[in-house]
Amino acid sequence: MNTEEYARMFEAEERQWWYAGMRAVSFSLLGPHIDRSRGDIRILDAGSGTGNNLVHLGRIGRAVGVDLSPEAVRFSKDRGVAVVRGTLASLPFRPSTFDCVTSFDVLYHRWVADDRAAVLELGRVLRPGGVLLVRVPALRVLWGAHDEAVHSRHRYSRSEVRALLAGAGLDVLRATYCNSFLFPLLLARRVLDRLLGRHGSDVGFLPAPFEWLFLRLLLAEARLVRFGSLPIGASVMAVARKPR
């Protein structure tokens, strides 16, 4: 990403509606599949960005991040979390090292030229019986200025994500769209962006009433996905297990 984008992420990740809400959805999906009875849960966040997710994953177990960008590593160290520099194509860890691997909005990126090889690498460092959580942007119809700003390569369907994980030999436990309640509004925004030729990313704070409302909608989704998958949305999340 651009250096300016990392700075915006660093400021926004803890409180901005999308980051806070999507984090709640992610942990709602992941939680039931983490065996907290294990005394030492080792977690990798692959493509950890500015490190905010590591702060929250650190409440579950011993979390470490890996990111290709020196700017991301620098911001993460400012947060006080453990991050090493590396690429998804060749993670700097031994096989079967982690009980849980997460990848939040990374596989879609232009520098991930081969997403299947990247998922195989995520599976390599996962111990047998361990779980992988993947989140990617959804649906080509939502392609817009934000995708260009953050160097997107692809937006996925749920079936594509399922096939990607299964093709790497992983058992898909759950796959769902999310950010669903706001999908019509996001679609209208993307159409308007194209008509007006808008450029730039969506990262940033909205007026307080919208921040409050949009966050509450995502928190409602976090409760819903405990019971079933959502049929459409702006992102896809999936949880998979490495066979024992």
pLDDT, tens digit, 9 for 90 and up, residues 71-108: 889 889 989 999 999 999 999 999 999 999 999 999 99
pLDDT, tens digit, 9 for 90 and up, residues 180-219: 999 999 999 888 877 777 666 666 789 999 999 999 999 9
Segments in the chain forming alpha helices (H): 3-12, 17-30, 52-57, 70-79, 115-124, 145-149, 158-167, 183-196, 208-224
Strand partners for 104: 135
pLDDT, tens digit, 9 for 90 and up, residues 30-50: 999 998 777 789 999 999 988
Architecture in CATH for domain 3-241: 3-Layer(aba) Sandwich (3.40)
Strand partners for 98: 126
CB atoms within 10 A of CB 114: 11
Give the integer Cα–Cα distance in Å for 23 and 133. Answer: 12
Sheet with 235-241, strands from edge to edge, namely: 83-85, 62-67, 42-46, 98-104, 126-137, 235-241, 171-178
